[in-house]
């Protein structure tokens, strides 16, 4: 088996799995260290942390009325359509509503 040279490794994703293996995908052209899949996960995680406050804001300031829930679900749908949160997180939020 032929090993890649260090010059080739410069273009590979820097993500490491928990067992020590490294991702073998090429880096995303717009990200300095991660492949398209890992950079998307990173972007979603950062956005999820930021969007929590935005989603928690209801019309009345509480989760008391159906309008409050509808208002928040509308923001969840928008965030999912804009790929700002994961499908799994949107599913969990909708189920909780």
User: Which ranges of the chain does DSSP label H, i.e. alpha helix?
Assistant: 6-9, 36-56, 66-81, 87-96
85 touching Zn ion, by CB under 5 A: no
> Residues 83, 44: contact at Cβ < 8 Å?
yes
Cβ 96 to Zn ion shortest distance, Å: 31
> Could you tell me which residues come within 8 angstroms of residue 18 by beta carbon, excluding any fewer than 6 positions away?
none
Residue nearer to Zn ion on the CB measure, 12 or 80:
12
14 touching Zn ion, by CB under 5 A: no
Total residues at the site for Zn ion (CB under 5 A)? 6
Interacting residues with Zn ion (CB under 5 A): 13, 15, 23, 25, 35, 38
């Amino acid at each position: 088996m032929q090993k890649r040279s260090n010059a080739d490794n410069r273009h590979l994703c820097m993500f490491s799995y928990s067992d020590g293996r490294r991702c073998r995908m090429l880096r995303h052209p717009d990200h300095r260290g991660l492949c398209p899949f890992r950079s998307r996960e990173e972007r979603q995680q950062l956005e999820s942390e930021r969007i929590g406050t935005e989603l928690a804001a209801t019309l009345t300031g509480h989760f008391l009325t159906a309008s409050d829930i509808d208002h928040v679900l509308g923001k969840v749908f928008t965030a999912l359509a804009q790929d700002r949160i994961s499908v799994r997180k949107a599913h969990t939020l909708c189920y909780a509503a």
